[in-house]
């Protein structure tokens, strides 16, 4: 029986979703193989939370906890933290230094993919298409004419490093740009402003399943809102259609691009890449390396269509971590 620490929470706006994801992992863990421990990681405390919601501090020196005088250590970590410090490389580097296996990608891949600007810049030379973009850092002069001339209208203003669509705005007029930029700066001091891609939005899960890089059935996203924002993602204001209503050729094409990105980056664990297909060409928006694992989330939906249960999905992730 292996002790598995399921880390959840985090330091960003996404902590509530992460707690849900972490609890889904905890509830669907194969209890014949693993003993799960819910570990809450917050700025003010790292604690093990038992079945009665009692909290026991984590010793950061070796990532252990002591319960009633007994020291508990972990064989592996299941990473369910969306956003910092679980998705941007900090926890990955920490566990690597401690020699504790964990289920997500390595620290460099996490840091790279968490930075939308850097990720798309790295993939561009490989022929992976993206939206036209304009970069801003906090304190930069905001020249709305220059921005509109480059990306056009409507456009999207996004924090460079944030998930769950926090801080994203769709801007339809130049006058709205300043407000949208302020909203994005609340999440991050770097911004990416992208041209509007008018097409079919799809989400592609790529995972290592039983040692083989596998593209999961693709999900088409039809948002009732202007775009796939927080409400659409988590409050049911979108239709998520798996498999996507795209041709077999397009399914193969977008799947191959997502798989290629996974391989180019030497990814491990879960990944979910977002694309918009415009005139038969998939354009990549981003890659998530700790995608949502709530029962409503896309990776669990895609795995279900592929005939993979949540228990198998999580067992596979832990076993790959233990064996790498």
Confidence of residue 124 (pLDDT cuts 50, 70, 90): very high
Question: Rounded to whole angstroms, how far apart are CA atoms 85 and 92?
Answer: 9
Q: What CA dihedral angle connects 224, 178, 172 and 239, to 10 degrees?
A: -10
| pLDDT > 90? residue 53 | yes
Q: What is the pLDDT of residue 237?
A: 65
Q: What is the pLDDT of residue 76?
A: 98
The reply to whether 99 and 119 lie within a common domain is: no
The reply to whether 121 and 264 lie within a common domain is: yes
Q: What is the pLDDT of residue 14?
A: 87
Q: Please give the average per-residue pLDDT across 107-129, as a whole number.
A: 96
Maximum CA pair distance of the chain? 65
Q: Please give the average per-residue pLDDT across 307-320, as a whole number.
A: 98
Question: Rounded to whole angstroms, how far apart are CA atoms 223 and 219?
Answer: 12
Token pair for 106: 């390595």
130: DSSP letter: B
| pLDDT > 70? residue 210 | yes
Q: What is the pLDDT of residue 224?
A: 72
The reply to whether 124 and 143 lie within a common domain is: no
| pLDDT > 90? residue 13 | no
Confidence of residue 192 (pLDDT cuts 50, 70, 90): very high
Convert the pLDDT of each residue in 281-294 to its tens digit.
Answer: 999 999 999 999 99
The reply to whether 216 and 314 lie within a common domain is: yes
The reply to whether 48 and 85 lie within a common domain is: yes
Confidence of residue 296 (pLDDT cuts 50, 70, 90): confident
Share of the chain above pLDDT 90, in %: 90
The reply to whether 208 and 262 lie within a common domain is: yes
The reply to whether 208 and 254 lie within a common domain is: yes
Q: What is the pLDDT of the chain when averaged over all its residues? A: 94
Confidence of residue 229 (pLDDT cuts 50, 70, 90): low
| pLDDT > 80? residue 172 | yes
The reply to whether 96 and 208 lie within a common domain is: no
Host domain of residue 63: 2-104
Convert the pLDDT of each residue in 71-85 to its tens digit.
Answer: 999 999 999 999 999
Q: What is the pLDDT of residue 36?
A: 98
How many domains, the chain? 3
The reply to whether 213 and 318 lie within a common domain is: yes
Q: How many CB atoms lie within 10 A of CB 283?
A: 21
Confidence of residue 257 (pLDDT cuts 50, 70, 90): very high
213: CATH = 3.30.470.20
Across the strands, what pairs with 38? Answer: 6, 49
Q: What is the pLDDT of residue 227?
A: 57
Confidence of residue 166 (pLDDT cuts 50, 70, 90): confident
């Amino acid at each position: 029986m292996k002790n598995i620490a399921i880390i959840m929470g985090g330091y960003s706006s996404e902590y509530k979703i992460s707690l849900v994801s972490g609890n889904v992992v905890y509830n669907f863990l194969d209890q014949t193989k693993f003993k799960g421990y819910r570990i809450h990681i917050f700025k003010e405390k790292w604690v093990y939370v038992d079945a009665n919601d009692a909290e026991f501090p984590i010793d950061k020196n070796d990532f252990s906890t002591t319960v009633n005088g007994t020291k508990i250590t972990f064989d592996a970590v299941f990473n369910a933290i969306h956003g910092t410090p679980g998705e941007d490389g900090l926890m990955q580097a920490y566990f690597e230094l401690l020699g504790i296996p964990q289920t997500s990608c390595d620290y460099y891949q996490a840091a790279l993919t968490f930075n939308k600007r850097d990720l798309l810049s790295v993939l561009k030379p490989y022929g992976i298409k993206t939206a036209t973009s304009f970069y801003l850092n906090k304190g930069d002069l905001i020249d709305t004419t220059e921005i509109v001339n480059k990306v056009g209208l409507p456009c999207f203003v996004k924090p460079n490093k944030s998930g769950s669509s926090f801080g994203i705005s769709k801007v339809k007029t130049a006058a709205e740009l300043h407000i949208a930029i302020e909203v994005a700066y609340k999440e991050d001091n770097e911004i990416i402003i992208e041209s509007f891609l008018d097409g079919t939005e799809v989400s592609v899960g790529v995972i290592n399943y039983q040692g083989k890089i596998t593209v999961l059935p693709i999900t088409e996203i039809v948002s009732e809102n202007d775009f796939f924002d927080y409400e659409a993602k988590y409050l049911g204001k979108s239709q998520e259609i798996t498999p996507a209503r795209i041709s077999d050729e397009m399914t193969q094409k977008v799947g191959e691009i997502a798989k290629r990105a996974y391989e180019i980056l030497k990814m491990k664990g879960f990944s979910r890449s977002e694309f918009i297909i415009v005139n038969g060409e998939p354009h990549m928006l981003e890659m998530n390396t700790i995608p949502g694992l709530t029962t409503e989330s896309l990776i669990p939906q895609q795995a279900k269509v592929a005939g993979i249960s949540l228990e198998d999905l999580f067992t596979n992730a832990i076993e790959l971590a233990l064996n790498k």
